[in-house]
Structure 1
């Protein structure tokens, strides 16, 4: 089984202030994915937009791969995810793409499993925080 995670989409699914420090939030998400990946033998690849970030890449190893978009711009990580699916789906039909991006889902071949970003965050133990009510 291969899990292919749309890192930016999963990060953006949490209202946890990730926009104030996107690289730091990416590192925290990658750490959570690394901890989860150690609990099973499935291969896990997380793909992010942007340039190669050493702090995220350092967390790779074992069954976790950290990958980055091959180009800059809109949907760059989505393009990389589609490439990975195209490269591996014939050999690894047990494939789950983690994203809530409808445009990306529409680009996947029939039969590829999809898990939403919110559900995956819950799987990692980093579900959406409960909003604070007035004091």
Structure 2
């Protein structure tokens, strides 16, 4: 059921950041800890504060999808990269660069 996140994008991004906080030390199924977690934010969510939880905030200057692809491209071949998204276009772009894809249900909330 939709929760109206689009009416408060910054608040939704903060809630997501906070829900991701355990992941660097717990990992995900098939991705044992420690893992680096990068949250890409765009638009009104771009100004959310950093948090000492270990989640890195990447502030997209324009398209969040383009920033994710830039990050994948930058780290391509240096380490395994997993992108969590439901967006088909982003999935295709990231997969073409060698990233593993997981759907949003892979991340506990």
- Measured against the shorter chain, the TM-score band is 0.7 to 0.9
CA–CA separation in structure 1 for the residues paired with 2:76 and 2:52: 22
Given the alignment of the two structures, is residue 49 of structure 1 paired with residue 22 of structure 2, yes or no? no
The answer for unaligned runs of 5 or more in structure 1 is 1-13, 127-135
Q: Cα deviations across residues 92-135 of structure 1 (Å, max 9, x unaligned)?
A: 1x111100111111212253210012x13xx32x2xxxxxxxxx
The number of residues matched between the two structures is 101
| RMSD between aligned residues | 2.0
Pick from 55, 59, 63 the counterpart of residue 68 of structure 1: 59
The answer for unaligned runs of 5 or more in structure 2 is 27-32
Kindly indicate whether the alpha-carbon contact (under 8 Å) linking 1:49 and 1:68 is maintained by their aligned counterparts in 2.
yes
Kindly indicate whether the alpha-carbon contact (under 8 Å) linking 1:60 and 1:66 is maintained by their aligned counterparts in 2.
no
Q: Cα deviations across residues 75-96 of structure 1 (Å, max 9, x unaligned)?
A: x00000000000001211x111
Aligned pair in 2 of structure 1 residues 60, 101: CA closer, same or farther (>3 Å)? farther
Normalised to the residue count of structure 1, the TM-score between the two structures is 0.65
| Higher RCO structure (Cα 8 Å, ≥6 apart) | 1
Normalised to the residue count of structure 2, the TM-score between the two structures is 0.79
Give 1:11's aligned residue. Answer: none
Given the alignment of the two structures, is residue 59 of structure 1 paired with residue 59 of structure 2, yes or no? no
Which of the pair has more CA radius of gyration?
A: 1
Aligned pair in 2 of structure 1 residues 87, 22: CA closer, same or farther (>3 Å)? same
Aligned pair in 2 of structure 1 residues 78, 25: CA closer, same or farther (>3 Å)? same
CA–CA separation in structure 2 for the residues paired with 1:82 and 1:60: 25
